[in-house]
Amino acid sequence: MEKKDHKMNDKQKQLEKYTVDAKGKALTTRQGLKVNDTNNSLKAGPRGATLLEDFLLREKIHNFDHERIPERIVHARGSGAHGYFELYENMEEYSKAGIFTDTSRKTPVFVRFSTVAGSKGSTDLARDVRGFAVKFYTEEGTWDLVGNNMPIFFIQDAMKFPDLIHSVKPEPNNEIPQAASAHDTFYDFVSLTTETLHNHMWVMSDRGIPRSLRMMEGFGIHTFRLVNKEGKSHFVKFHWKPKLGVHSVTWDEAVKISGADSDFHRRDLWNAIDSGQFPEWELGLQIIPEEDEHKFDFDILDATKLIPEEMVPVKIVGKMVLNRNPENFFAETEQVAFLPGSIVPGIDFSNDPLLQGRLFSYRDTQLSRLGTPNFHQIPINRPVVDTHNNQRDGHMQTEIPKGQTAYFPNTLGGGCPFLSSVEDGGFESYHERIDAKKIRARSDSFSDHFSQPALFYRSLAKWEKDHVTEAYSFELGKCTHKHIQERMLWLIAQIDEELSEKVAKNIGIKVPNDIERPINQAIGADAVVEDHQPGEKKIYLESSPKLSQDTTVFDTIATRQIAFLVGDGFKMSDVDKMKTALEKENAVVNLVAPHGGTVKCDQDMDHKVTASIMTTESVLYDAIYIPGGKQSVDALLSKGKFLKFVNETFKHCKAIAVDNEGKMLLKKSAVNDFKDDKAVFADAEPKAFIAAIAKHRNWDRSSKVEDIAV
């Protein structure tokens, strides 16, 4: 008897060795979200079709599909940083998410900024949409807010995304051009797919070439839901507002920066964080009661539409600070995986058909790109909460799952991990009433393709409109097929006739009086296409000033790069006065000299040169200052590139300040031909120079300096 008991004890010990203690552990997704139901898929009614948005089903099935055992297609070129988010006020009226109710939290975040169209090795300064993706490592699981620096997208339905990207990527016959939309296939697509016009107008504006990743807005693009603990839903749009304001470069600068420093944005972000000038954004919410869903002249589920802030104000609720650079680019910035389907209780989806498709596409992309369903185990993707589930194995499994059971329900594993109630944080999809037939179509409320791009253009300042004209002229001028150019000009005329006429004049053709409706040209007049045709333009708001960069923040010069043009013998008292004033405002002073190494001031002290004139360009700086000192100014005048430096800075409408003999450089430059410019200062106090830099540019100058040769 004793012998038998001994054998049983050995058996029990052997079983315990392979049994995981799951007692008391809640079942979660791989992002740490507690699960309320793992037996039923999300359906359109109890007997209805299973819905594509069921992210719990897809995670479970995708993992199973890949249990047996490459560069992003879009957003390939990225820059990332770590930081935190903190909430200003409790928003429990709208959401039960801890990130929106607990003001004591500092939620860790990782943010990845990116261009869309170019390859990993393309330039930072391409005219393009910028990705703005934020991973919140919350205490309820990971939430990914995957957005852009523009509030709308090119297309309304995810079905069109491959067509959009195939059209803007290098043409497949010759792999040209890289990271550029100025070619025939893109404009062929855009001119046949009029829903693209609103986002395209944004890209043709200065928003397409930001001054810095730290100086651009971010948007969640889609309409999401916030759900409070009583189950009441509000629609919401997410906004990131940069504390430094929204600023851009000119196209001429972008072209030259691409040659001078193709890593301009990446370097700018890294250096700012490395120097302790941490970028900050405030999170704003546009909240719409569910009962107001249909009160607008546009459909809030249409991703090509924004909600003007005059109609629904943006409520500022929190702040994000980026305060740490990655330690390894590949391990963090390259391997980070964002999933629009990663949400937490209190946040849910809408029926936006573009969002619905992204919920599927992003996970599928990560499986292919990172080669494993276990990409959540990569350190940058790990949630900060424990995860417990029955998903096993797969390529590159780095954990060692224990236990005999990998299914639910079970008794051999103690029935665990268990399901969480909604009250205990288990996720529950919003109970939206659905009563409709299954149909492959698009709502008539999505058919307005002209009103919002027209509103955007009307809201721009004159200098911004001029830049849009120049952008369209450049882009269409690169197209080689006249019928594509004419079709685009006709469409632009539906948005603004004057804009179309200006572009037509620049590219040397006339705006056609009428054309066959665009989609008919592509699929044939015999097809039934009326549902695809754009509606007439409406004016429901004359302008929306918040859409213009002319109304952004103009009260800081923090992190602005100021070039001090100096040679041996520069006047130290001039430099010391200006440098002290600028650095007090957290600007960055760079000594640009005729040579590298060091330069001597008039007090015979050595000063380290930031860059020699042969290794840098004016487009890398926000303003220039030229101190006195005859020997120094003579040295500058002996190098022709310094005159180019001044002329180019002036042409790009930036602030210039000079003291004493420094005025001689202005007299030799094109600046001398323009009197009383409000952003050029001779013997001026630093305060005025600082105020001009904060204004970003003196755009009043732009029409006067077009012909300056540089």
276-313 per-position pLDDT tens digit: 999 999 999 999 999 999 999 999 999 999 999 999 99
| Contact present, 353 and 158 (Cβ < 8 Å) | yes
CA–CA gap between residue 605 and residue 616 (Å, rounded): 24
| Contact present, 233 and 289 (Cβ < 8 Å) | no
Choosing from 36, 63, 148, 381, which is the catalytic residue? 148
82 is catalytic: no
Stretch among 9-18, 83-92, 100-109, 187-196 having the lowest mean pLDDT: 9-18
Nearest to 133 by CA among 81, 180, 71: 81
CA–CA gap between residue 377 and residue 365 (Å, rounded): 16
Choosing from 36, 62, 63, 75, which is the catalytic residue? 75
Residue 70: predicted pLDDT? 79
Residue 52: predicted pLDDT? 84
Residue 439: predicted pLDDT? 82
75 is catalytic: yes
Domains of the chain: 75-174+181-387+443-553 (2.40.180.10), 554-704 (3.40.50.880)
Residue 528: predicted pLDDT? 45
Percent of the chain with pLDDT over 90: 75
| Contact present, 285 and 314 (Cβ < 8 Å) | yes
Which 3 state secondary structure label does DSSP give 437?
A: coil
Residue 355: predicted pLDDT? 93
Residue 17: predicted pLDDT? 47
Which 3 state secondary structure label does DSSP give 486?
A: helix
Average pLDDT value over all residues in the chain: 92
CA distances from 204 to 56, 294, 436, 494 (A): 39, 30, 39, 16
Whether pTM exceeds 0.75: yes
